Structure 1
């Protein structure tokens, strides 16, 4: 799977990592619903770190279609809310 982190680039990520990412995504949704800005920041950072750590960066000039697009680390709660689907940021 190709994942894009807005403002950073793309990484190739094994589909087997989705379970871990979905747990963080669920936690992020809960914090957003509560308006927990500190928790939102912490969990968004953990989600993006998990993608960076598990993924293999693609070259900057690579233009692979992204199957998943995640917000930048400095995205606001409102910006992330606009990106959400019924399943959160990560489907499944």
Structure 2
């Protein structure tokens, strides 16, 4: 799976990582619904960190279609309400 972090680049993620990211994504959906700003920010930072840590960076010269687009860490709670809803950005 190809994941783009807005403003930071793309990463190739193995299936095992996607499962882990989906769990974090589901937690973010709940936190956004509950309006828990600090917890939401923490989990979004954790999601991005996991992608960078365990994903394989894709060179900027290589143009690939992204399967998932992850918003930047500075996403506001109001903006997150449009992104992290339903099944979130990682579909189950």
Q: Would you call these one fold, judging by a TM-score over 0.5?
A: yes
SS class of match (1:3): strand
- 1:81 shift after superposition: 2.1
SS class of match (1:69): strand
| Counterpart residue number, 1:45 | 45
- 1:85 shift after superposition: 5.3
Does the 8 Å contact 2:28/2:84 carry over to 1?
A: no
Tell me whether 1:11 sits opposite 2:14 in the alignment. Answer: no
| Counterpart residue number, 2:23 | 23
**TM-score, length-scaled by structure 1:** 0.91
| Counterpart residue number, 1:60 | 60
Distance 2:11 2:3 in 1: 5
Structure 1 unaligned regions, length at least 5: none
Aligned length: 92
Deviations 1:11-52 (A, max 9, x none): 011022122111111111111011000000000000111111
SS class of match (2:31): helix
Change in CA separation of 1:23 and 1:37 when aligned onto 2, cut-off 3 Å: same
**TM-score, length-scaled by structure 2:** 0.91
Change in CA separation of 1:39 and 1:85 when aligned onto 2, cut-off 3 Å: closer
Once the two structures are overlaid, the 10-residue window that deviates more, 76-85 or 18-27, is 76-85
Change in CA separation of 1:41 and 1:84 when aligned onto 2, cut-off 3 Å: closer
| Counterpart residue number, 1:79 | 79
Q: CA RMSD in A?
A: 1.2
